[in-house]
Structure 1
Amino acid sequence: MPDGPSIVIPAHNEERTLGRLLDGLLADLPDGPAEGEFDLVVVCNGCTDGTARVAASYGPRVRVVETPVPSKHEALRLGDAHAHGFPRIYVDADVELGAADARALTAALRGPGAVLAAAPDRELPMTGCSWPVRAYYRVWQRLPAVRDGLFGRGVIAVSGEGHARLAALPPLMADDLAASLAFAPAERTVVPSARVVVRPPRTWPDLIRRRVRAATSTAQLEAHQDRSAPAGTPAPPSARTGLGDLAALLRADPTLLPALVVFLTAALVARRGARRAVRSGDFATWLRDESSRRD
């Protein structure tokens, strides 16, 4: 049984994408993980497609856990119950990560100067994306919180101590943002030698669906922070984008103005779209972008 790092992959109806991820993680391990290499656990949650069949097709190299509950939080909990080792790497099923990238993340959590949490650098392939989507991400990728935070990558790796920090978090839609904010800047790092491919939405409606989900989940996280913060304490950390951040980007690169207009439009539309869910307390409806899952 591997005693090295565990990789937990929650997967809900990811038949079309899971193979890309597993191929990358196992590409240089043709005979399966060597002893002490990786412990791979795929948690198929509430799947109505062939996700479990895809995962099982990799044989003993991948352990498959199934639950009828379509919940990422439940999938992560089950994955933890079945995982064996640390560091522990949580990977969304719709991204692409290689074995070398997983090793680089593991190295950042071990030895002198190790941090508690790490994530890879992100690559956003824009092929096939409409021009408003490309404009939006031209701004988004430059935001300081996006560059330095662990969220929006679909991958977070933690040490044993870092895992205890995550285990104390409540179930939230913005699980990756909450995980990132759970660590001070000195306790987390983005590892430049590790890279994850995150496929963005291709169309404006799909982008808005993602942004509505993000606005809704951020509101839930902030409400939780307000409830749990003792009276008189400083404001909790936030990854919200302020007008000052956008003004600084424009000063540094005036050619960003058209893209900034698109970015602000998307933010306003998404915030308006999130109001109904926030008012009703609906933090369970997951607005999914299907365009990024097409070949």
Structure 2
Amino acid sequence: MTPLISVLIPAHNEAGYIGACLSALFASDPLPKGAGAEVLVIANGCTDSTVAEARAVAVPQGWTCAVIDRPEGGKIGALAEGELRAAGSILVYLDADVIVSPPLMAQICAALTGDQPRYASGTPQLFPARSRVSRLYGRFWAKLPFVREGVPGFGLFAMNRAGRARWGQWPDVIADDIFARLSFAPAERVRVQASYQWPLIEGFRNLVRVRRRQNAGVAEIAERFPPLLTNEDVHRPDPAAILRLALRDPAGFMTYAAVALAVKSPLFRTRNEARWTRGR
């Protein structure tokens, strides 16, 4: 059976997460008749038990799973190797700490069937955060237009082969998800109803660190690939909209604003901040 969907999961030290990610994926609703699915876990530079945990997950009928153990770290190299081995006509790029809902893969399959370039993602939901500051920040963040509208694609995005042909090798950028999303016009992007759960970083300093990285990623795309910005369809809300959100959730707004201000403060900068920042 030729795989219809190839799910690529770059994983760097994802012990404790990769097992749940794969188990949820393998519990997906059946794909269209005659279609199969493969998973490629591309472990890159792991020093923990990510590889062993991934190989220990039972693979159900209709799926195949290969765990590739790369000694070299780096997400871009992992994506390149995964794509080289992928056989599916639909490519799904999945973070190793994301939990998909059962209907998601089938809905993505339906959205990306055809010869025209298409991009798709699901409806994101946040995992319940442990820390109060992350709960407040996430509660407000989840109401912003970028999350509620359009097709964000953070944590999970997919495209058909015609869409992937839009570019050659992945550029070495911070925000590969933004690069992929903006390589498609708004009319070519599909947000399916099925959800996936995405974890928010825990703690104030980690929120600041990751938010700074996200801002740097957006700025890098604007500097290196300015034509892609014409495909942006979600813009900052106007002050009146922000005020309405703030009045509905003042604690969430204050937390979100405090993080945004701290991002610009040198007091919260650390030396040699990594391009890839987890902050768990």
Classify the TM-score, shorter chain: 0.7 to 0.9
SS at match of 2:238: helix
TM-fit CA distance, 1:206: 2.2
Tell me, what secondary structure is at the counterpart of 1:157?
strand
> C-alpha distance in 2, partners of 1:185/1:275?
36
**Runs of at least 5 residues in structure 1 that lack an aligned partner in the other structure:** 291-295
Shift of 1:96: 0.7
Which secondary structure does the structure 1 equivalent of 2:103 belong to?
A: helix
Q: Determine the C-alpha separation between the residues in 1 that align with 2:229 and 2:35.
A: 42
The answer to whether 1:122 aligns with 2:115 is: no
Within the candidate set 74, 79, 82, 1:79 is matched to 82
Runs of 4+ in 1 over 6 A off after TM superposition: 274-277
Aligned to 1:50: 49
User: Structure 1 residues 110 and 241, CA, compared in 2 at 3 Å: closer, same or farther?
Assistant: closer
Match of 2:277 among 281, 284, 287: 287
- The aligned residue for residue 22 of structure 2 is 22
Give, in whole Å, the separation in 2 of the partners of 1:246 and 1:135: 20
Deviates further, 121-130 or 255-264? 255-264
> What SS does structure 2 have at the residue aligned with 1:165?
coil
1:76-225 residue pairs with structure 2 within 5 A? 76-111=79-114, 116-130=118-132, 132-151=133-152, 153-165=154-166, 167=168, 170-192=171-193, 194-225=194-225
8 Å CA contact 2:10, 2:96 repeated in 1: yes
Call closer, same or farther: CA 1:96–1:73 in 2, change over 3 Å. same
Q: How far apart are 1:138 and its partner, in Å?
A: 2.4
Verify: 1:3 aligned to 2:11, yes or no.
no
Amino acid at match of 1:288: R
Moved more, 86-95 or 65-74: 65-74
Count of residue pairs the alignment pairs up: 274
Q: Secondary structure at the match of 2:3?
A: coil
What is the alpha-carbon distance in structure 1 between the residues aligned to residue 256 and residue 27 of structure 2?
37
Change (3 A) 1:68 1:151: farther
Deviation at 1:111, TM superposition (A): 4.9
Partner of 2:66: 63
- Matches of 1:273 and 1:241, distance apart in 2: 27
1:166–1:179 Cα contact (<8 Å) kept:
no
Q: What does the per-residue CA deviation read over 1:64-84, in whole Å, with 9 as the maximum and x for residues that have no partner? A: 112222111111111100110
Assess, with a 3 A threshold, how the Cα gap between structure 1 residues 107 and 54 changes in structure 2: closer, same or farther. same
Q: For the structure 1 residues 261 and 238, does the alpha-carbon distance in structure 2 shift closer, same or farther, using more than 3 Å as the test?
A: farther
- State how far apart, in whole Å, the 2-side matches of 1:258 and 1:108 are: 38
Paired amino acid for 1:108: A
Give the structure with the larger helix fraction.
Answer: 1
The answer as to whether partners of 2:186 and 2:232 remain within 8 angstroms in 1 is: no
AA aligned opposite 2:45:
G
Query: Conserved in 2, the CA contact under 8 Å of 1:55 and 1:62?
Result: no
Query: Cα 1:48–1:223, aligned 2, differ >3 Å: closer, same or farther?
Result: same
Against the structure 1 CA distance between its residues 274 and 177, is the aligned structure 2 distance closer, same or farther, given a 3 Å change threshold?
farther
Runs of 5+ unmatched residues, structure 2? none
Specify the alignment match of 1:293 in structure 2. Answer: none
Cα distance, 1:207 vs. partner?
A: 1.6
Mean alpha-carbon deviation: is it higher for 59-68 or for 72-81?
Answer: 59-68
- Displacement of 1:203 after TM fit? 1.8
- Give the whole-Å Cα distance in 2 for the aligned partners of 1:152 and 1:139: 19
Please list the CA deviations of residues 37-82 of structure 1 after superposition, one character each: whole Å capped at 9, or x if unmatched: 2111100011111111112223673111122221111111111001
Quote the offset at 1:183 in angstroms: 1.5
The separation in 2 between residues aligned to 1:284 and 1:255, in whole angstroms, is: 36
Q: Distance in 2 between matches of 1:51 and 1:239?
A: 37
- Counterpart of 2:199, as a letter, is R
Shift in Å, 1:167: 4.0
Evaluate the alpha carbon distance shift between residue 262 and residue 28 of structure 1 in structure 2; reply closer, same or farther with a 3 A threshold.
Answer: closer
Three-state SS of the structure 1 residue aligned to 2:87 is: coil
CA root-mean-square deviation: 3.1
TM-aligned CA distance change 1:182 to 1:138, over 3 Å: same
Deviations 1:199-254 (A, max 9, x none): 2123222222221221222222222134xx5xxxx964558864x43531323662
**C-alpha distance in 2, partners of 1:110/1:180?**
18
